[in-house]
């Protein structure tokens, strides 16, 4: 049994699916925070702060839980990329990335009510192959990645857009770095291989 109940501070289906892979029972609760960057805030500082704020917000509601939170930004030529929102912007983003690379920074925050906060930021770089307009339109039409920074879904057909991937943990690109999470859970005596049971 887990020493503490686990809660994922997210409404993301992708993050929920990733966490399910560890075989630990958990609930989800979506935090409501202001994600506006602070003046002169670096991308790494932004994702770190937002991950921590999400964890702290949910911990305030579930004070007896072990809280997992995450945030992600995508960078192209040092510019933070927003979610496209519609077909036109998504196509423009992918056309811009053709033959280029995009860096993703994914934060992980793990909060324990007795031992405090652990924070981690995982980098992952995506190298896009040269894309034709027809490929871009076909991809956008099939997956409609309008709420995804970078205009693709790594867990779906987005993989067909890439020439290569560069990083230590591909789950970070989807939204929750499981390698780092497993390590941090172990610090709190919650190793997935010692606590695996059916997900609730």
Token code pair at residue 58: 């949910």
Among 40, 64, 71, 168, the active-site one is 71
Token code pair at residue 2: 């887990």
Q: Are 158 and 143 contacting, i.e. CB atoms less than 8 angstroms apart?
A: yes
Active site (annotated) includes residue 71 = yes
Q: Are 106 and 175 contacting, i.e. CB atoms less than 8 angstroms apart?
A: yes
Nearest to 20 by CA among 32, 9, 11, 8: 8
Between helices 87-97 and 133-143, what is the axis angle to 10°?
A: 130
* Cβ-count burial 81-110 (b if 16+ within 10 Å, e if not): bebbeeeeebbebbebbeeebbbbbbbbbb
Nearest to 107 by CA among 7, 2, 6, 10: 10
Token code pair at residue 54: 């999400």
Q: Among all residues, which ones are annotated catalytic? A: 71
């Amino acid at each position: 049994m887990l020493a503490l109940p686990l809660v994922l501070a997210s409404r993301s289906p992708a993050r929920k699916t990733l966490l399910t892979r560890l075989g630990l029972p958990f609930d989800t609760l979506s935090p409501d925070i202001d994600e506006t960057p602070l003046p002169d805030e670096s991308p790494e500082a932004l994702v770190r702060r937002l991950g921590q704020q999400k964890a702290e917000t949910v911990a305030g509601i579930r004070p007896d839980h072990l809280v997992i939170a995450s945030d992600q930004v995508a960078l192209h030529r040092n510019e933070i990329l927003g979610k496209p929102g519609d077909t036109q912007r998504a196509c423009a983003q992918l056309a811009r990335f053709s033959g280029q690379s995009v860096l993703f920074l994914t934060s992980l925050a793990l909060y324990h009510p007795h031992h405090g906060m652990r924070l981690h930021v995982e980098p992952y770089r995506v190298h896009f192959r040269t894309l034709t307009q027809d490929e871009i339109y076909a991809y956008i039409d099939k997956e409609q990645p309008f709420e995804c920074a970078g205009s693709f879904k790594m867990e779906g057909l987005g993989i067909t857009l890439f020439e290569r991937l560069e990083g230590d943990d591909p789950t970070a690109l989807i939204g929750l770095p499981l390698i780092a999470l497993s390590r941090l859970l172990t610090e709190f005596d919650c190793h997935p291989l010692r606590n695996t049971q059916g997900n609730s």
